[in-house]
Amino acid sequence: MSGDQMSKIYGLTGGIASGKTTVLDVFAENGCRIYNADEIAREVVKIGTPGLDQIVASFGDDILMSDGTLNRKNLSQIVFSDKKELKKLTDITAPLIRKRILQIVEEVHALNDGLIYIFEIPLLFETNYQPYFDAVISIFVQPEIQLSRLMKRNNIDEQTAKNQIDSQMPMEEKKKLADFVIDNSGDLAELKSEIKTLLKNL
């Protein structure tokens, strides 16, 4: 590829159990480079990072393992039972995650390698990341398929699954806000051909 082709980076989002992992795998098979926000969230609290230091300063040494790494289980028990504590954690990590994501977007745009980069961010619209990407792709699945996939995947009953889905921005809403939509209600073969077609338009 010639060096003067702008690299493009697209934000990808979708509801819970919309098949994000599968979609990312198909993009990767088609030569796209993949990033995801969960990895970044882990990266900004590794040993020796200001992120981890701030968390320890706020929550104490009890949230560390004996090797000095973050004890996610202990931390999540604290923050998920108390909204104030969760906000405290988010106030530390969210700016660090955003800074790192914007850094990556900038680095990609500077590459000019003509490749397509896909950045998966679960709460992309909720945290207002759309201005930073060349465009946003949202994964859509029919609500009844989403429900049954989630119940099966997490081994939970229908009401619990519904509550988890209802706690998120509705997929219809994400669909309206997105520049491109991937419908992942069908099988893998349908998904693959849909993504191939989409890549021609990116």
Asked if residue 1 is part of any domain, the answer here is no
pLDDT of residue 4: 60
Q: Which of 48, 79, 109 is the last residue of a domain?
A: 109
Model pLDDT for residues 30-58, shown as the tens digit of each residue = 999 999 999 999 999 999 999 999 999 99
Q: Which of 53, 87, 109 is the last residue of a domain?
A: 109
167 pLDDT band, cuts 50/70/90, is confident
pLDDT of residue 66: 95
AA identity, residue 80? F
Do 169 and 198 reside in the same domain of the chain?
Answer: yes
- Which residue range is the domain that position 77 belongs to? 37-109
CB atoms inside a 10 Å sphere around CB 148:
14
Q: At 33, give phi and psi (nearest 5°).
A: -95, 140
Asked if residue 18 is part of any domain, the answer here is yes
pLDDT of residue 1: 40
The CATH number of the domain holding residue 83 is: 3.40.50.300
Check if the beta carbon of residue 173 is closer than 8 Å to that of residue 138.
Answer: no
Do 132 and 82 reside in the same domain of the chain?
Answer: no
E strand or H helix at 179, and its extent?
Answer: none
Which residue, 136, 198, 146, 194, is CA-closest to 168?
Answer: 146
- Is residue 201 pLDDT above 60, yes or no? yes
Q: What does the DSSP 8-state code read for residue 5?
A: B
pTM of the prediction?
0.88
Do 105 and 126 reside in the same domain of the chain?
Answer: no
Q: Is 84 exposed, middle or buried (0-12, 13-18, 19+ CB in 10 A)?
A: exposed
pLDDT of residue 80: 86
How many structural domains are present in the chain? 2
2 pLDDT band, cuts 50/70/90, is very low
Do 155 and 81 reside in the same domain of the chain?
Answer: no
Do 62 and 49 reside in the same domain of the chain?
Answer: yes
Asked if residue 2 is part of any domain, the answer here is no
CA atoms within 13 A on the CB side of 65: 8
Distance CA 193, CA 4 (A): 29
- Return mean pLDDT, the chain: 93
Helix (H, G, I), strand (E, B) or coil at 70: strand
Model pLDDT for residues 87-100, shown as the tens digit of each residue = 999 999 999 999 99
Q: Which of 109, 143, 162 is the last residue of a domain?
A: 109
Asked if residue 12 is part of any domain, the answer here is yes
